[in-house]
Amino acid sequence: MKELNEARKTYEDTPIPEALGFRVQEGIRQGRARYRARRSRVIRRWSAAAACFCLVLAGLNLSPTVAQAAAQVPVLGGLFRVLTFVEYDRTEDGIHYDVSAPQVEAEGDLAEKVNAAIQEKLDVHLVKAQQDWDSYRDAFFATGGTEEEWNGREMDVTVDYEIKSQSEDRVSFIVTFAEGWVASYEERYCYNLDLAENRDLTLRDLLGENWVEICNAAIEEQIAAGVDEDGFTYFFPAEEGGFTSVDESTAFYIQEDGTAVVCFPKYAIAAGAAGAPEFPIA
């Protein structure tokens, strides 16, 4: 365990060149604090979760009455609202859960589809987290770990969201699902919604018919700018799994000024020290 901890510390301390120009994800714990500080929303706690953790999964399928009571404060105006559907912060059996999940309230089936997708991801995330923790614990004791060594270990399970931009009929937000322990991972899902037209917004909508060429040129330019004076870069060559092109499945969000920001998962096109790269498409 000592070697593993030392290796992990070395990894986390790896410096990231300023020339990258991208936001690099901090540790899961730091991220959780950052998200809370960044949120200016007024939210109510889901008090049912505090009674017994076995209610958590059941509580994710709240009745309309409970859901309404748990989300009285609208975040946005216009044709829709984004509400905190379920929120709790507690520790159970070595797992620290910090969960804040959104729900879109609007006419039409788009909001229903988005809410169902978030709900499904939330359910899967919590079940997977418990399975991961149980597997790690079993492996720890199977390889000679003791109760004394085990005590004090904790796994962070985080679900949070951030609204990137909003108008009377459009909203762009990200929902983040993360685990932080011996190993860690983070998944981010971008939602860009036009509630007036009841449809998802696309890069084509924002950039026009040549959106692929526009995105590729901007991303390649920013990757090139991330090469230091010694020729070092965290980004993989295209022939070794690096960036080649955007497509219909490429994730993005929209800033308040209307700029599209293309997002890639950690390790997708660069070494882990580069975090989860983001590329504004000017």
pLDDT, tens digit, 9 for 90 and up, residues 92-131: 999 999 999 999 999 989 999 999 999 999 999 999 999 9
For residues 282 and 144, the model is more confident at 144
Q: How confident is the model at residue 181 (pLDDT cuts 50, 70, 90)?
A: confident
pLDDT grade for 13, boundaries at 50, 70 and 90: low
For the stretch 32-67, pLDDT in tens is 444 444 433 323 333 333 333 333 333 333 333 334
Rounded to an integer, the average pLDDT of 140-157 is 92
Q: What is the pLDDT of residue 12?
A: 47
> What is the mean predicted confidence (pLDDT) over 220-247?
94
pLDDT top residue among 56 and 142: 142
pTM over 0.85: no
Q: How much is the pLDDT for 11?
A: 42
Q: Pick from 264, 109, 83: which is nearest to 197 by CA? A: 109
Share of the chain above pLDDT 90, in %: 64
Mean pLDDT, residues 12-21:
45
